[in-house]
Chain A
Amino acid sequence: GESVGLHLPTLSVQEGDNSIINCAYSNSASDYFIWYKQESGKGPQFIIDIRSNMDKRQGQRVTVLLNKTVKHLSLQIAATQPGDSAVYFCAENTSGTYKYIFGTGTRLKVLA
């Protein structure tokens, strides 16, 4: 896993704009990836997942992109809303194991 510094990276976007949150994962053997959203005072909540045999997956207002060559994952949120303000984590997993390795997290602030 990755260690977290004292300050989370923060992304500030205007309401209605699109947001892109990035994540670098660590294990080349990871073949399953998840994005979680964590609101203040709550536990992480599943947003979307993707397997390594795909490079893109779309959900409602969210899209996850996977680039295995550079071990990079991104989460795109369309038409960002105030309710999207939260910390977003990526997590990686290797099939056959049940451990998730969580990334450092990015704080998304939506400006009205």
Chain B
Amino acid sequence: DAGVIQSPRHEVTEMGQEVTLRCKPISGHDYLFWYRQTMMRGLELLIYFNNNVPIDDSGMPEDRFSAKMPNASFSTLKIQPSEPRDSAVYFCASRGLAQNEQFFGPGTRLTVL
């Protein structure tokens, strides 16, 4: 298996623009997680899905952030409009029902100018 796949790996955009981050979880995994990592706040859980349904989105910073999982093999995290303080590395992770370990993707480094 290729592991969790994220795209793009790097994104540079200007304030006010819409940003869409993409994730393909490991096949067969029932849970998908979106995290944000910054030097100031470390690794924070934004939202997670179970069987494509959002379960807990309490970590989503504000209404500018939204996440979807239209099917078991694809999820998006959208920021609209983006702001410089959204600059961070965004990770997607997935896990199977019978597992405890979360498998992380390589991350998307977002820079908002």
A43 contact set on B, CB distance < 8 A: 4, 91, 93, 104-107
4 tightest Cβ-Cβ pairs between the two chains A and B: A43-B104, A4-B42, A102-B43, A46-B101
Quick one: closest B residue to A36, CB to CB?
B104
Could you say which interface size class chain A belongs to?
20 to 34
Quick one: closest B residue to A6, CB to CB?
B39
Could you say which interface size class chain B belongs to?
20 to 34
16 contacts across the A-B interface (CB closer than 8 A): A1-B44, A4-B39, A6-B39, A36-B104, A42-B106, A42-B107, A43-B4, A46-B101, A46-B102, A89-B43, A98-B33, A98-B48, A98-B95, A99-B48, A99-B56, A105-B42
A45 contact set on B, CB distance < 8 A: 104
User: Which of the residues A3, A6, A98 comes within 8 Å of B55, measured between beta carbons?
Assistant: A98
Indicate if the CB atoms of A2 and B100 lie closer than 8 Å: no
* Distance to closest chain A CB from B77 (angstroms): 15
B55 contact set on A, CB distance < 8 A: 98
Residues of A that sit less than 8 Å from B by CB: 1-6, 32, 34, 36, 41-46, 49, 89, 93, 98-100, 102-105
B111 contact set on A, CB distance < 8 A: none
Indicate if the CB atoms of B50 and A98 lie closer than 8 Å: yes
Indicate if the CB atoms of B101 and A6 lie closer than 8 Å: no
Indicate if the CB atoms of B103 and A46 lie closer than 8 Å: yes
A44 contact set on B, CB distance < 8 A: 43, 91, 104
Quick one: closest A residue to B30, CB to CB?
A98
* Distance to closest chain B CB from A95 (angstroms): 10
- A36-B104, A46-B102 given; name 18 further pairs at CB < 8 Å: A3-B40, A3-B42, A4-B39, A6-B39, A41-B106, A43-B93, A43-B104, A43-B106, A44-B43, A44-B91, A44-B104, A49-B101, A89-B43, A98-B31, A98-B55, A99-B48, A102-B44, A105-B42
Quick one: closest A residue to B104, CB to CB?
A43
Indicate if the CB atoms of A4 and B101 lie closer than 8 Å: no
Indicate if the CB atoms of A6 and B40 lie closer than 8 Å: yes
A105 contact set on B, CB distance < 8 A: 42-43
